[in-house]
């Protein structure tokens, strides 16, 4: 890398559509970098002898290599390098929080390289040029069923198909994609790029089956009878609930029960779902899902939006006990927060009140945390917030318990499916990948886990001749 742009070129600010325009639709908020600016930003990469951005990225993306190609204007080659470690850069370039940037060496004394923006630009170039299928040169004669079409299942399916296995990907919803399809709002992830990737995978031999309910041991055994291995990528879809008086009032919903119908409407379906037009909305939970609820509420025309988080307000700069290159525990503001509403921290919900069976107010108290992280309520800080709707976005606690129990697989102390290093579960020929194993996590971890388990399945399939007869892996 000949240039040393980090010495003279600053980090480009994020490019977004104007707020008054974007809150009137559900189209993507982010705007791409111009070609000249893209090359300039790529030139800020230091080409480090030891690139710590690799440490931050679970996929191990070779970031300096594709930054160098981008600054030279060689986007086709950059796309090849990017695809060597990441199956879906057009998705991670949009929705990943970019732990690679937190580990960027430039960030030691300045602003990190815009790795995420550059990744998205490379991926957009590849999608625009047409994603070329990479079918396997040979076939193994082995059949694999993958249950769940989120990022882990998709990555595992593509990797196994490219290794020559006959892959069937099963999804219980009516369309493929999991939370990529029905969880993330369109204003963050244009489904155009997801559909382009699915078309590539179909051309590579992956067979997609929707409306497939693998809801118990009998269904799993039926898959095992027809396949050499089964991979469960069922996610961590069980939402954390709010155990307070008034939880059963009308107008109190889990976040996904609010976000999914809007995504379906955006896809052209005619359904009612939950709408908050003209309503006072409270979102409980300060993470990405909560921010998605905020942004969707703005677009539906909510009268007011308040987002509550039980944890304390994060610092705006990295603390001394959170040193580089670890992920900085600092305040993060999304495009949805920029659009309006109120955020409040260290607020513990105590109860929900209502009239005629419908929620009308939330009662809470402020809290503080001691050095050991123990929470205590602060007397005299009680507050009440009037509302018409409460959305619960407090994260997910693991795979759906009834499904995990019905499958009869060993689970860890957190309720996640237990696997070995290759992804094998306690049942012969059954593997698991993604959030169902790790717990709720980032899209990059899901993709990385799907790739890891694909390697484990491939090794087992090619090493064991008696696999279909029930040999334990």
What is the reported pLDDT for 249?
Answer: 98
pLDDT, the chain, mean: 94
Is residue 470 over pLDDT 60? no
pLDDT, tens digit, for every residue of 224-265? 999 999 999 999 999 999 999 999 999 999 999 999 999 999
Task: Report the domain count for the chain.
Answer: 3
Boundary-marking domain end, from 355, 376, 394: 394
Identify whether residues 285 and 194 lie together within a single domain. no
* Residue 417 domain-assigned (yes or no): yes
Q: Are 324 and 250 in the same domain?
A: yes
Residues 389, 404 within the same domain: no
Evaluate whether residue 443 is within a structural domain.
Answer: yes
Q: Which residue has the tokens 């030279």?
A: 72
pTM over 0.85: yes
Radius of gyration of the chain (CA): 23
Query: Residues 464, 401: one domain?
Result: yes
Bridge pairing between strands 396-398 and 389-392: unpaired
Q: What residues contact 321, with CB distance under 8 A and at least 6 apart?
A: none
Count the residues in the chain.
473
Report the half-sphere exposure of 102 (CA within 13 A, side-chain side).
20
Within 395-442, where are the H helices?
401-407, 435-438
* Domain contains 137: no
- Is residue 148 located within the same domain as residue 52? no
Least confident window among 373-377, 462-466, 468-472 = 468-472
Decide if 134 is inside a domain.
no
The answer as to whether 138 is a domain residue is no
The CATH number of the domain where 21 resides is what? 1.10.1060.10
Looking at residue 408, what DSSP letter applies? Answer: T
CA pair distance 150, 178, nearest whole angstrom: 4
Residue 63 forms part of a structural domain: yes
Mean pLDDT of 40-45: 95
Is 187 in contact with 293 (CB distance < 8 Å)?
A: no
What are the pLDDT digits (tens) for 390-403? 999 999 998 887 88
Residue 136 lies in a domain: no
What's the rounded Cα separation, in Å, for the pair 180 and 183? 6
**281 and 368 in a common domain:** yes
What is the predicted pLDDT for the residue at 408? Answer: 87
Grade residue 308 by pLDDT with cuts at 50, 70 and 90. very high
Is 198 in the same domain as 250?
no
pLDDT, tens digit, 9 for 90 and up, residues 254-302: 999 999 999 999 999 998 889 999 999 999 999 999 999 999 999 999 9
CATH of the domain at 331: 3.50.50.60
What secondary structure does DSSP assign to 220-246, as a single string? HHHHHHH-SEEEE-----EEPP--STT
Task: Let me know whether 245 and 385 are in one domain.
Answer: yes
Largest CA distance in the chain: 71
Which residues 6+ apart lie within 8 Å of 200 measured at CB? 131, 132, 133
Same domain, 105 and 121: yes
* pLDDT given for residue 7 in this prediction: 86
Domain that holds residue 13: 5-129
Q: What number is the average pLDDT over the span 92-118?
A: 94
User: What pLDDT score was predicted for residue 466?
Assistant: 47
Element (H, E) at 280: strand 280-284
Same domain as 120, residue 54: yes
Which of 304, 93, 284, 87 has its CA nearest to residue 200?
A: 87
Domain shared by 123 and 88, yes or no? yes
* pLDDT for res 471: 36
Distance CA 304, CA 341 (A): 6
At 467, phi and psi to the nearest 5?
A: -60, -40
pLDDT per residue as tens digits for the range 120-164: 999 999 999 999 999 999 999 999 999 999 999 999 999 999 999
pLDDT at 3 over 70: no
**What are the helix (H) ranges across 96-249?**
99-102, 115-129, 151-162, 179-182, 191-203, 217-226
Question: What's the Cα-to-Cα distance from 375 to each of 321, 381, 409, rounded to whole Å?
Answer: 20, 14, 35
Residues 329-337 have a mean pLDDT of 94
Let me know whether 375 and 414 are in one domain.
no
What integer is the mean pLDDT of 373-399? 96
Domain end point (choices 327, 359, 394): 394
The pLDDT tens digits of the residues spanning 191-227 come to 999 999 999 999 999 999 999 999 899 999 999 999 9
Q: What is the pLDDT of residue 465?
A: 52
307/342 Cα distance (integer angstroms): 6
pLDDT (0 to 100) of residue 464: 58
CB 409 within 8 A of CB 417: yes
Does residue 264 lie within any of the structural domains?
Answer: yes
Q: Which residue has the higher pLDDT, 373 or 364?
A: 364
Of the candidates 374, 394, 414, which is a domain's last residue? 394
């Amino acid at each position: 890398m000949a240039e040393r742009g980090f010495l003279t070129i600053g980090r480009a600010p994020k490019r977004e559509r104007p707020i008054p325009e974007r809150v009137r639709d559900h189209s993507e908020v982010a705007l791409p970098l111009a070609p000249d600016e893209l090359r300039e930003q790529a030139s800020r990469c230091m080409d480090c002898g030891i690139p710590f951005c690799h440490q931050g990225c679970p996929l191990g993306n070779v970031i300096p290599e594709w930054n160098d190609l981008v600054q030279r204007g060689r986007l086709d080659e950059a796309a090849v390098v990017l695809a060597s470690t990441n199956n879906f850069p057009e998705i991670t370039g949009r929705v990943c929080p970019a732990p690679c940037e937190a580990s960027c060496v430039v960030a030691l004394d300045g602003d990190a390289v815009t790795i995420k923006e550059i990744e998205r630009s490379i991926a957009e170039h590849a999608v625009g040029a047409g994603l070329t299928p990479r079918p396997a040169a040979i076939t193994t004669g082995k059949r694999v069923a993958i249950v769940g079409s989120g990022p882990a299942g998709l990555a595992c399916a593509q990797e196994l198909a490219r290794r020559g296995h006959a892959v069937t990907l099963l999804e219980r919803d009516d369309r493929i994609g999991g939370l990529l399809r029905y969880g993330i709002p369109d204003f963050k992830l244009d489904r155009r790029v997801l559909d382009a990737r699915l078309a590539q995978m179909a051309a590579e031999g992956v067979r997609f089956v929707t409306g497939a309910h693998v809801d118990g041991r009998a269904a799993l055994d039926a898959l095992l009878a027809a396949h050499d291995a089964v991979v469960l990528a069922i996610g961590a879809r069980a939402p954390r609930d709010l155990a307070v008086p008034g939880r059963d009032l009308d107008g109190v919903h889990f976040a996904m029960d609010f976000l999914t119908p809007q995504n379906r409407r955006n896809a052209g379906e005619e359904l009612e779902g939950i709408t908050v037009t003209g309503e006072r909305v409270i979102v409980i939970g300060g993470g990405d899902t909560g921010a998605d609820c905020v942004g969707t509420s703005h677009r539906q025309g909510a009268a007011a939006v308040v987002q509550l988080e039980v944890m304390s307000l994060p610092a705006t700069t990295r603390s001394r006990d959170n040193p580089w290159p670890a992920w900085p525990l600092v305040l993060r503001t999304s495009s949805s927060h920029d659009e309006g509403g109120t955020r409040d921290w260290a607020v513990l919900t105590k109860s929900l009140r209502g009239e005629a069976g419908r929620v009308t107010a939330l009662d809470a108290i402020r809290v503080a945390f001691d050095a050991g992280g123990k929470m205590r309520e602060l007397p005299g800080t009680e507050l009440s917030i009037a509302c018409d709707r409460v959305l619960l976005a407090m994260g997910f606690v693991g795979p759906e318990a009834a499904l995990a129990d019905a499958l009869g697989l060993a689970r860890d102390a957190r309720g996640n499916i237990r696997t070995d290093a290759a992804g094998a579960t306690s049942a012969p020929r059954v593997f698991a990948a993604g959030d169902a194993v790790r717990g709720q996590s980032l899209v990059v971890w899901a993709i990385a886990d799907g790739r890891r388990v694909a390697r484990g399945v491939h090794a087992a399939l090619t090493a064991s001749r008696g696999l279909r007869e029930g040999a334990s892996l």
